[in-house]
């Protein structure tokens, strides 16, 4: 099917939705470089299949992955500019820290507040996440709001936000979609040695039993002079 589509339109495919695992090998063999790829829930049935996709299909812009069936963890970066992972319990901290992604959106993550603290420290030191523009991680925690905040920002010395500091309220996800942030969002700033600013803010997303569901966000930007 991939071959027939390209033959008819005589141009490479830019967007592809992989609804069946049988298409994976066809894409690898016919057009291994694609701009945007979407894989819905339970098409990928193992880490091995995921690893074959990531190592043989180059997704240059947006990679969207639904839930997968696995008990394993994945430590390799996902090499796309923007990644959205619906059920990201299998993604480890090294997979994020060692990546070159600009946009990261992880749902149902098992990262801890201490992991988020590590991400912020590595970003601020300029060691990791050099390309990062916007990060969203949805986690659950037994900590209350103050305890969560204290652990995430431990040893970071953030500065209080100023509503006139020039932080952009729109994040360009791709050519067709933009994430709009609230203008009155409460946040703190981390300053990197190269002048980049990391604005850190959270959103309360309800609860799951005794656990609080929290949306953690890091927006990276530079103050205009």
The answer to whether the beta carbons of residues 87 and 61 sit under 8 Å apart is no
Rounded to whole angstroms, how far apart are CA atoms 177 and 222?
21
Q: What is the mean pLDDT of residues 10-26?
A: 82
> Is residue 16 within a helix (H) or strand (E), and if so which, with residue range?
strand 15-17
Q: Is the pLDDT of residue 5 over 50?
A: no
Q: How far is CA 216 from CA 108, 117, 144, 175, in A?
A: 12, 11, 14, 24
Q: What pLDDT is attached to residue 61?
A: 94
DSSP symbols for 161-221: --TTS---SEEE-SSS-EEEPPTT---EEEE-TTS-EEEEEEEEEEEETTEEEEEEEEEEE
User: What's the gap between Cα 152 and its chain centre?
Assistant: 18
154 — phi, psi (to 5°)?
Answer: -60, 130
Q: What pLDDT is attached to residue 16?
A: 86
Query: pLDDT by residue (tens digit) across 106-149?
Result: 999 999 999 999 999 999 999 999 999 999 999 999 999 899 99
The structure tokens listed for 12 are: 């490479």
Q: pLDDT > 70: what percent of the chain?
A: 93
Query: pLDDT by residue (tens digit) across 41-91?
Result: 999 999 999 999 999 999 999 999 999 989 999 999 999 999 999 999 999
H, E, C per residue of 84-139 = EECCCCCECHHHHHCCCCCEEEEEEECCCHHHHHHHHHHHHHCCCCCCCCEEEEEE
Instruction: Count Cα atoms within 13 angstroms, Cβ side, for 152.
Output: 27
Per domain, the residue ranges of the chain are 73-221
Mean of per-residue pLDDT scores for the chain: 90
The answer to whether the beta carbons of residues 39 and 21 sit under 8 Å apart is no
Q: Is the pLDDT of residue 164 over 80?
A: no
Q: What pLDDT is attached to residue 11?
A: 60
């Amino acid at each position: 099917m991939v071959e027939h589509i390209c033959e008819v339109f005589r141009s490479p495919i830019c967007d592809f939705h992989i609804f069946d695992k049988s298409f994976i090998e066809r894409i690898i063999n016919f057009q291994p470089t694609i701009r945007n790829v979407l894989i819905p829930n339970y098409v990928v049935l193992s880490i091995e299949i995921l690893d074959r996709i990531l190592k043989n299909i180059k997704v240059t812009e947006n990679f969207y992955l639904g839930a997968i069936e696995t008990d394993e963890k994945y430590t390799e970066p996902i090499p796309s500019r923007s990644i959205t992972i619906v059920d990201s319990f299998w993604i480890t901290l090294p997979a994020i820290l060692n990546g070159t992604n600009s946009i990261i959106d992880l749902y149902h993550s098992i990262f801890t507040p201490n992991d988020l603290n590590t991400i912020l420290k590595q970003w601020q030191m300029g060691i990791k996440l050099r390309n990062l523009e916007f990060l969203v991680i949805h986690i659950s925690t037994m900590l209350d709001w103050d305890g969560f905040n204290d652990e995430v920002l431990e040893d970071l010395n953030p500065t209080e936000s100023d509503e006139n500091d020039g932080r952009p309220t729109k994040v360009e996800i791709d050519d067709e979609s933009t994430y709009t942030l609230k203008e009155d969002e409460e946040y703190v700033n981390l300053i990197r040695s190269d002048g980049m600013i990391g604005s850190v803010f959270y959103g309360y997303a309800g609860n799951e039993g005794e656990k609080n569901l929290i949306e953690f966000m890091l927006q990276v930007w530079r103050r205009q002079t």
